[in-house]
Amino acid sequence: MGTLQRTMLVEDDKITTIIVSRMVSSHSDYEEVSTFENGQLAFDYIKSIATDPTQYPEVILLDINMPVMDGWEFLDGVSAISGVSEIPVAVLTSSIDPEDIEKSQTYKQVLGYYTKPLNDNDLSEIAAKVKA
């Protein structure tokens, strides 16, 4: 597998969204990035493509603490949908709460738990896990 064609970024902070989007777009392991400002918008999108695996993102970068629908609710929702429950998710958050880290490990599609700010090494590690 070459570059990851489609990456979803689910993040409510506009500055973080701009920074991470630019990092992903300029990283050699990634192509296109789509952004969603809360879990509900991202979940609605995932539901809309659920029957077409060719449209699935190869990885979802997911913030945990967001308004409307948080990252945990998003993970619960996608976990219940056949097919999309297999899309790898990298948790991207400012939380260093050990309970959050532990909770993230209970979802089979979660590749890892990354604290902000995300860096190039994190993006390389995420891509390598997706490609493995």
**Residue appearing with tokens 């909770």:** 103
Across the chain, mean pLDDT equals 95
Q: What are the residues whose beta carbons fall under 8 Å from the beta carbon of 36, sequence distance 6 or more?
A: 8, 9, 10, 11, 42, 45
Reported as a single tens digit per residue, the pLDDT across 18-52 is 999 999 999 999 999 999 999 999 999 999 999 99
Question: Could you tell me if 3 and 28 are in contact, meaning their C-beta atoms sit under 8 angstroms apart?
Answer: yes
Q: CA neighbours within 13 Å on the CB side: how many for 58?
A: 20
Question: Coil, strand, or helix at residue 105?
Answer: coil
Domains of the chain: residue spans and CATH: 4-131 (3.40.50.2300)
pTM (2 decimals)? 0.95
Burial 89-99 (b: 16+ CB within 10 A, else e): bbbbbebeeee
